[in-house]
Structure 1
């Protein structure tokens, strides 16, 4: 369903009917027009999507209220391994909300938060919570606004994460 410019009403309809897709593992909803309201409908339906392993929500103009709903409901996605939230509008406040929900996302192996206007404040909180993602192999944080001190914090933090083998901090 990616790249279809689905609006809020389409997100609402999808959320209402997704329960019929009981074995759904890969949900590609990137490049739509959900914005916060659409993502709220989708997130509130996460309890019907327990089998999701890969979730793509990039390029949906999600900001703080969408991040808040996502964080509140992501615990229902008990099989989630691959999460792409890149190229949204989270900024520091949104990424902090998501980072505070990392304890609900222990199965995540790949996390993409690139191009979300994350600065030092958000990056610092993110690194303080990243240890909850005990299965993390890859994290993409490129295209944000983190300075050298936070980049060093990232390096220092991920040194102790044995399974982590790829960190992208380019273009910060």
Structure 2
């Protein structure tokens, strides 16, 4: 289990992208490797099988015997929550809240949310990867975001949001971004009128903070076509995301991926996307290649374990050759079916620029 509170002086954006990449590699390659600093929980195993029906997972969980370890795990989690809530209530220096792989449920999250909302700390990142947060948890998180508009990153990989939880979360984030942007603009206009022409604030400054989500990871949450379409809607109309994690979401059909990739073409802010283990195949990668050609801001892409052959590899290569002014900094294609020769040329094209 892992739980921590980290001070705001840490560079949350870069550090958590690296953590997310390490986490994905460990889950996909050796989830029970000795010496790993990640302890796979029952939820992390379920997250690697996104096509399983929710009813089957619930039944399997209900059939597990109550061993001696279960009360100890619950006590351990409660101790971590109590410690976190104590720190949140007494400190104004908490910048990152990290509580991953701890079997955190919606009920636990509700308890933590109360302390987080009342805390004086300006939290910028919520990392709740590999837990048991379901659709109701999406509403709890939205309540936290309303109280903490400084949150920039929301990492929820390997939970149980499903399509309806993801839809609720995305719609709530979109509404909150619009509401806070309007309120900040109105406050700036009022301040401008009150100060007059002599004492003017800097352009764009407002006494109110607008909420803007920059990092979102909803991979491994059992998303299907409806969930991916909801994300496409969000990307098209409301997104300022710089980082999107959507690994292990293979339940979506090709039409849903087409909508998402089309929405990503015009996303000027999007810089890093993780799409590992989504069974995109060559048809899906051909659609994604159009994103690579048209979105010069996209600089890092993970496509491990997507059943890509040389057909899709050639589409990727063609897209890379078109990016003369904005080459990729990172491209991962492990666990696919691309020949060694073509893979070498792709890697060289990424490195040489």
User: TM-score with structure 1 length normalisation?
Assistant: 0.83
- Please list, as runs of the form range in 1=range in 2, the aligned pairs for 1:18-167 lying within 5 A after superposition: 18-19=173-174, 20-21=176-177, 22-61=211-250, 62-133=252-323, 134-155=326-347, 157-158=349-350, 161-162=352-353
Whether 1:4 and 2:159 are equivalent positions in the alignment is: yes
Query: Structure 1 pair 93/100, CA: closer, same or farther in 2 (3 Å)?
Result: same
Bigger helix share: 2
- Cα deviation for residue 37 of structure 1 reads 2.3
1:84-130 CA-to-partner distances (Å, cap 9, x unmatched) read 01111101100110111223321122110111110110011111012
- Cα deviation for residue 139 of structure 1 reads 0.7
The answer to whether the 8 A contact 1:127-1:154 is kept is: yes
Cα separation, 2, equivalents of 1:77 and 1:104: 10
SS at match of 1:51: coil
1:126-153 CA-to-partner distances (Å, cap 9, x unmatched) read 1101245514211100010111332243
When the two structures are aligned, how many residues end up with a matched partner? 161
Aligned CA RMSD, in angstroms, stands at 1.9
Deviates more, 1:68-77 or 1:147-156: 147-156
User: TM-score with structure 2 length normalisation?
Assistant: 0.43
Query: Structure 1 pair 49/27, CA: closer, same or farther in 2 (3 Å)?
Result: farther
* Among 4, 8, 16, the residue aligned to 2:171: 16
Query: Structure 1 pair 39/144, CA: closer, same or farther in 2 (3 Å)?
Result: same
Structure 1 gap ranges (5+): 163-172
Cα separation, 2, equivalents of 1:65 and 1:17: 25
Structure 2 gap ranges (5+): 1-155, 178-210
- Cα deviation for residue 48 of structure 1 reads 4.1
Cα separation, 2, equivalents of 1:123 and 1:63: 21
SS at match of 2:220: coil
The answer to whether the 8 A contact 2:328-2:350 is kept is: no
